[in-house]
Amino acid sequence: MSASSEKKIVLAAICIYIIVFGVFTGLRHYNFQTQAWDMGIFDQTFWNTAHGRFMENSFETAKNHLGIHMSPFLVLLAPGYALFPSPYFLLIIQTIALALGAWPLYLLAKKVLSGFDKKWPVIITLFDFHELPFLIPLLLTSFYFIETKKWLWTTIFLALSASVKEDAILVVMFMGIYIFIKSGKNKSIKETQNIENKKFLGIKKFGALTAIFSLIYFIAATKIIMPSLGGGLLSINRYSQLGGSVAEIAKNLFTNPWLFIKTIFAAQKMGYVFWLLVPAGFMTLFSGPVLLTLVPPLAENLLSSWNSQVSGLYHYDALLIAGIFAGLVYGLKFFLNHWPKKQKIAIVALLVAGAASFLIRSPISPFLFPTELFRPNAHWDAYREIIKKIPANASVAAQTNLVPHLSKRQNIYVLGTEPSPADILIIDGADLTGFTDEKTFQTYADSYMDSGLYNFTAIENRYFILNKKDIELLQ
């Protein structure tokens, strides 16, 4: 296969991914399958930023999103959102970024596997990536520039990676450790004493400095910047079974290691790790130092008591995917070096693993594809009619899947979380999300209706709009 043909196949795959997932994610949002967390948060945050309220939203415990998650990378997306202020912009730009992540993966595979079958770079690139955030293409590009020893570009993409979120900083720190170890791999004493010695030591220094500066940035972000914005590391409660504070958890790691072992090796979590590795045919396990980059996110997810972190369905995997697929490349090189006559077996095994992962786990597989997105739905039609009635300047409390469609306003809340009575309440009587039971839900609604301050509109005896008497609904 010629280099030109390879590139055409990869570019075609990128375009197909953008079209398929662009349509898929767009339909999910149009048909109310996105939620307040996180679509509503980000849409309102970008809308507020475009209107002079930098990174503010009304959902999180800190008014400024950067107090909850250290994500200065989002600032780079703000100008685009200002031009195209819509959740669809956020969905499509994420889809494009993820699709483009296939390109550095292809280049990395082409570089690392240059001495093997020419099909390998294309086979690896066509694997199912899942729908995950911006960190993946940034880290994959970092891996490529590390391999090609382009250190300025490595610095830029590692810095961008660290800017995505506070826990991504720890991944970058371990990328520094990876560079430090990788630079000394296969170096003989004689080699380190010749003319290459300065370059060799320079690379080790680069890796060490990357790790050190990442640690400094992480401490500054979580102990100074985020608290100054009213937030901090707020998910510590997900690790309460390990201790009541970071200090206590660290102490228990040494005094009660069995507690950590028992937490990590729970059956559900081992199943989670299994399915993480299946798309790469478990080749990541042979990738040596690359495995280091998986340590922070695996620890974050496996030590947590929050089941969503090990479900494989949410964004918590984003920190792992780049390392897993870079590990596939290096693990495959190890495998082919040690068992060169097993190339055909490796190809079949990887194709079977990729197909199994797609069919069993991918949201667009024939077995999981939500065909209802393409069918008429009276419930969604009713939602669309309700949204048309809501004035832009009113504060709103609504069900979680309605929030992303009403988030272009300064104050919007999920039902039951508003700090003071909202101007407009939108209630779906058949959706108890956020309430413990029907009685609690009814008590909440009655508190508004009995106040005498609201007009009441019922639609199909299921949907209810309560608007303050001085707030007119649109016709």
Tens-place pLDDT, residues 34-59:
999 889 999 999 999 999 999 999 99
466 beta partners: 425, 456
Name the residue ranges covered by the structural domains of the chain: 3-234+265-361, 378-468
Which range has highest mean pLDDT (109-123, 129-143, 236-250, 325-339)?
325-339
Question: What contacts 208, CB < 8 A, 6 or more positions away?
Answer: 176, 180
Phi (first) and psi of residue 414, to 5 degrees: -75, 140
459 beta partners: 463
pLDDT at residue 247 in the model: 87
Name the DSSP letter for residue 256: -
Confidence at 132, pLDDT banded by 50, 70, 90: very low
Contact 106, 125 (CB under 8 A): yes
Tens-place pLDDT, residues 340-366:
888 888 888 888 998 898 899 888 888
Among candidates 174, 412, 382, which has minimal Cα distance to 294? 174
Confidence at 123, pLDDT banded by 50, 70, 90: low
Range from 43-52, 255-264, 306-315 carrying the lowest mean pLDDT:
306-315
Task: State the residue for tokens 């499509």.
Answer: 92
Helix (H) or strand (E) holding 204: helix 197-220
Distance CA 274, CA 4 (A): 36
Helix (H) or strand (E) holding 174: helix 166-184
Contact 330, 120 (CB under 8 A): no
Pick the residue with more confidence: 178 or 4? 178
Burial class (CB in 10 A: 0-12, 13-18, 19+), 1: exposed
**Cβ–Cβ contacts within 10 Å for residue 156, how many?**
15
Q: 37-76 burial, b for 16+ CB within 10 Å, e for fewer?
A: ebbbbbbbbbbbbbeeeebbbbbbebbbbbbbbbbebbee
pLDDT at residue 421 in the model: 95
pLDDT at residue 118 in the model: 59
The mean pLDDT of 430-455, rounded to a whole number, is 93
Pairing of strands 396-398, 412-414: parallel
Kindly list the strands in the beta sheet with 412-414, ordered across the sheet, starting from the edge strand earlier in the chain.
Answer: 412-414, 396-398, 424-428, 463-468, 454-459
Contact 259, 252 (CB under 8 A): yes
Tens-place pLDDT, residues 144-168:
999 999 999 999 999 999 999 999 9
| Tokens linked to 234 | 């707020």
| Tokens linked to 314 | 């949410």
The conformational region for residue 31 under phi > 0 = left, psi -120 to 50 = alpha, else beta, is alpha
Contact 34, 87 (CB under 8 A): yes
pLDDT at residue 471 in the model: 93
pLDDT at residue 343 in the model: 86
The mean pLDDT of 416-431, rounded to a whole number, is 95
Distance CA 355, CA 365 (A): 10
Task: State the residue for tokens 């097993």.
Answer: 342
Tens-place pLDDT, residues 279-308:
999 999 999 999 999 999 999 999 999 998
Is residue 129 helix, strand or coil? coil
Residue 245 has pLDDT above 60, yes or no: yes
Confidence at 128, pLDDT banded by 50, 70, 90: very low
Quote the crossing angle between the two packed helices 102-112 and 87-100, to the nearest 10°.
Answer: 10
Confidence at 208, pLDDT banded by 50, 70, 90: very high
